[in-house]
Structure 1
């Protein structure tokens, strides 16, 4: 009897291998060969799923976005808009190892997207998804705000800036949480 292969699951396994290589060695060291070694696959088997490094990286980043989105849509949030905003945004920020890894992967695509059209598409997906999340939160925090898109852009910039500062070691996760709270306190409500 032929073996039934779940191709989507195998692709997710490869995305996990990409994440481990990025976390351990940095995005510059992600290659078909490195990911194959990390996953225990041959390079030929890996190329059956991803012909190029860019395809592999794009899928790995899309998987991070999907993983975070799934968590966000499935989580219970407090009824208070300020508390809900904090809980939701912290789910996207590096407050623990899992979320730090996700943030490292997402931000690794910032530079890569400048050089590769396929990766730029994923970068735009990441940024537009985060902006839409910030816009929803701002409209819940301050329903009558005259310029919710501007407030959402500022919130998005604060979240990204705080994330980068934690990834660079300039802030601790606890300091990041405090600064996020201070910013949310400035959103008129």
Structure 2
């Protein structure tokens, strides 16, 4: 009898092999030969499951977005307001090896993936969803009394998401600029003017950070 192959499982294995190569050796090393070697098969075996290396990259990026969203959902469970906002951004910012590796996958292949309309739509959907989460948590922070009522939630959520994506780019181009405390400091810098403590100090004529 011919061997029955689970195509979905095999596609998943190829994507995981691609992610493993990127995480270990960087995106430039993730050739079809390297992926096949990771799996212990000939390079030609990949094309029974994907039409091209671009298709592998597209599937890997979708996998990264799915993983990120799953982590966000888990990290924010039972949290709201600024705590949930912080937990969300920590899963997108390249603060640890996993998120740095994911940034390598997404950012390192943006040029190649720019022509993939399906992937571009998927990435846009993810950003829209994460932006909606940030806006919701900002509104919760206002309700909780941690942020002032006049906070421009839509604009601030977009700025925070832009910081997260920008730091992903830095992780690829200049790892020295992705110190976790620096990244989190950028987030705090954006939020500070809208905190009640800061607003009270300014109303009393006391500059931020003064005793």
TM-score by length of structure 1 reads 0.81
**Distance in 1, Cα, partners of 2:102 & 2:160:** 19
2:75 maps to 75
Q: Shift in Å at residue 13 of structure 1?
A: 1.5
Aligned residues: 186
The answer for unaligned runs of 5 or more in structure 1 is: none
1:130 maps to 127
1:112 maps to 112
1:179 maps to 186
**Distance in 2, Cα, partners of 1:60 & 1:79:** 29
The answer for unaligned runs of 5 or more in structure 2 is: 141-148, 197-211
TM-score by length of structure 2 reads 0.74
2:19 maps to 19
**Distance in 2, Cα, partners of 1:91 & 1:50:** 29
Alpha carbons of structure 1 residues 44 and 145: separation in structure 2 relative to 1, 3 Å? farther
**Distance in 1, Cα, partners of 2:192 & 2:135:** 12
RMSD over aligned Cα atoms:
2.7
Q: Shift in Å at residue 148 of structure 1?
A: 4.2
Does the Cα contact within 8 Å between 1:141 and 1:187 map onto a contact in 2?
Answer: no
Q: Deviations over 1:119-139 (max 9, x none)?
A: x53244224312321232123
Does the Cα contact within 8 Å between 2:91 and 2:99 map onto a contact in 1?
Answer: yes
Q: Deviations over 1:114-166 (max 9, x none)?
A: 4xx22x53244224312321232123313676864433322211111233334
Indicate yes or no: 2:158 matched with 1:153: yes
Q: Per the alignment, in what secondary structure is the counterpart of residue 34 of structure 1?
A: helix
Higher mean alpha-carbon deviation, 123-132 vs 6-15, is at 123-132
2:46 maps to 46
**Distance in 1, Cα, partners of 2:76 & 2:161:** 22
**Distance in 1, Cα, partners of 2:78 & 2:51:** 44
**Distance in 1, Cα, partners of 2:59 & 2:52:** 11
Does the Cα contact within 8 Å between 1:131 and 1:156 map onto a contact in 2?
Answer: no
1:140 maps to 137
Q: Per the alignment, in what secondary structure is the counterpart of residue 70 of structure 1?
A: helix
**Distance in 2, Cα, partners of 1:166 & 1:176:** 11
**Distance in 2, Cα, partners of 1:186 & 1:10:** 50
